[in-house]
């Protein structure tokens, strides 16, 4: 599988350049919606990424499954190089569509102690709100 399509790479790069330009101009950093989700198909590790810098470093949330998801940077090359049991590797969730700004995912993950559980809580709350507003 192609880890990042050209379209995803472009969206991640635009977010990085937008953040850099905002900071350079003295403006607050934007809070973009995650562009891509990676996961361990045989474990609990999950990553959401909003940005990709020119050196191949992603920024987003990393949750290695130990109960302490955190915002930070991680290398695309390292994700691609991980070898798991059964000849598997880290995969990209091809159906992922970010719905909330990164800060919302980060807070939900922090409160739940897991990015996966935080996402479940967010999506249930959004579905309930949509249902109640219909």
pLDDT given at position 69:
96
Q: In this structure, which long-range contacts are made by residues 3-6, counting pairs with CB atoms below 8 Å and at least 24 apart in sequence?
A: 3/76, 3/79, 3/80, 3/92, 4/36, 4/52, 4/76, 4/92
Average pLDDT estimate for 89-118: 96
pLDDT given at position 132:
77
66 pLDDT more than 60? yes
User: What is the reported pTM?
Assistant: 0.91
6 pLDDT more than 70? yes
């Amino acid at each position: 599988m192609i880890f990042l399509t050209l379209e995803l790479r472009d969206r991640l790069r635009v977010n990085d350049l937008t953040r850099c330009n905002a900071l350079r101009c003295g403006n607050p950093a934007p809070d973009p919606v995650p562009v891509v989700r990676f996961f361990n198909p045989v474990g609990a590790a999950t990553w959401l990424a909003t940005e990709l810098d020119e050196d191949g470093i992603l920024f987003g949330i990393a949750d290695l499954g130990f109960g302490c998801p955190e915002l930070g940077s991680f290398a695309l090359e390292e994700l691609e190089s991980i070898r798991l049991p059964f000849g598997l590797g880290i995969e990209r969730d091809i159906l992922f569509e970010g719905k909330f700004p990164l800060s919302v995912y980060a807070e939900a993950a922090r409160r739940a102690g897991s990015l996966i559980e935080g996402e479940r809580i967010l999506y249930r709350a959004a579905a309930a709100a949509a249902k109640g507003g219909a």
